Amino acid sequence: MKTVTIEDALLRCEHTPRPGAPALLLINSLGTSLEMWDEQAATLQQHFELVRYDARGHGESSAGDTAELTLERLGRDALAILDACGIARAHLCGISLGGMTAMQIASAWPDRVLRIALCSTAAYMPPRENWESRIEIVKARGMTALTESILEKWFTEEFRSANSERVEQIRQMLLSVDPTGYAACCAAIRDMDLRESIKNITSTTLVIGGSKDAVAPERELRLIADSITDSRLTLLDAAHLVNIERAPEFTQALLSFLGAEAVQVEVSASPS
């Protein structure tokens, strides 16, 4: 692990180099830390130069001085992480807020992007009043006021019953989030509308989500897939955090999507 200084914030980052392989940046959801990718990390490190990090106010990253964040700021944070790791271009895989950040990067800085996987996410999440209410609640009462209702949306009842230890780990992630950082990221989602800008994305794209997800339902995933010319849609039998609830299927889908390009890079890096 290392710490990257980005203007007013210190962000925790894990970078696993793999010479000759393409880079893959994992971008986590609102309310979690980089450990949300633990089910994928060991496998992905075998194929990619892997980078994952804690967003502002999440995990061990500081919140910074900004009361409200934008997707542009979160996108610049992600690019600064890549810069600190010496990476010019990378695959992006983001879930929920991470997917929104990935769409922002692919729209605004396409030269930094290889392929993108957009997971359990949306291009637009009204009404604003819902996010205003969440911001007020977390500022006044902290993360304990939101955590249980979030977990009910993130995982199906069957998964929560059968995987209490992993669910507890996610609960502790949520409870450890800096309320200031959480509220600032909520403002970024409140103000987001990517419905037009994603039409300009040229990167090959995988849109993947859960068929039982009430946070980012199938209609939102289809809107994204229909807006990006070179895209495909995959649904798994899960709620919101598909990479955890359906970890083996998710990891295989991601590897299959990125695998051909990974092989090409490795072959081109071999001695002639």
- What is the predicted pLDDT for the residue at 194? 98
Residue at token pair 């075998």: 46
- What is the predicted pLDDT for the residue at 122? 98
- What is the predicted pLDDT for the residue at 74? 98
113-119 and 49-53 beta bridge pairing = unpaired
**Helix, coil or strand: residue 232:** strand
Of 1, 27, 122, 120, the residue nearest 79 (C-alpha) = 27
User: Any idea what the Cα angle at residue 176 is, between residues 74 and 99, rounded to 5°?
Assistant: 30
Strands (E), the chain: 2-6, 9-16, 23-27, 49-53, 90-95, 113-119, 205-210, 231-236
Q: Note whether 198 and 224 are within 8 A (CB).
A: yes
Q: Note whether 258 and 48 are within 8 A (CB).
A: yes
- What is the predicted pLDDT for the residue at 49? 97
The helix-helix angle for 179-190 and 71-84 (nearest 10°) equals 120
Q: Amino acid letter at 241? A: L
User: Any idea what the Cα angle at residue 57 is, between residues 66 and 25, rounded to 5°?
Assistant: 105
Could you list the pLDDT tens digit for every one of the 272 residues in the chain? Answer: 999 999 899 999 999 999 999 999 999 999 999 999 999 999 999 999 999 999 999 999 999 998 999 999 999 999 999 999 999 999 999 999 999 999 999 999 999 999 999 999 999 999 999 999 999 999 999 999 999 999 999 999 999 999 999 999 999 999 999 999 999 999 999 999 999 999 999 999 999 999 999 999 999 999 999 999 999 999 999 999 999 999 999 999 999 999 844 333 333 333 32
What pTM, to 2 d.p., does this model score? Answer: 0.94
Residue at token pair 């991601």: 254
Q: Amino acid letter at 142? A: G
Q: Which uninterrupted H or E stretch holds 149?
A: helix 147-154
- What is the predicted pLDDT for the residue at 260? 40
Considering the domain delimited by 2-268, tell me its CATH architecture. 3-Layer(aba) Sandwich (3.40)
Size (the chain), residues: 272
What does the domain layout of the chain look like in residue ranges? 2-268
The structure tokens listed for 272 are 């002639």
> Rounded CA gap, 175 and 216, in Å?
22
Neighbours of 243 (CB within 10 A): 29
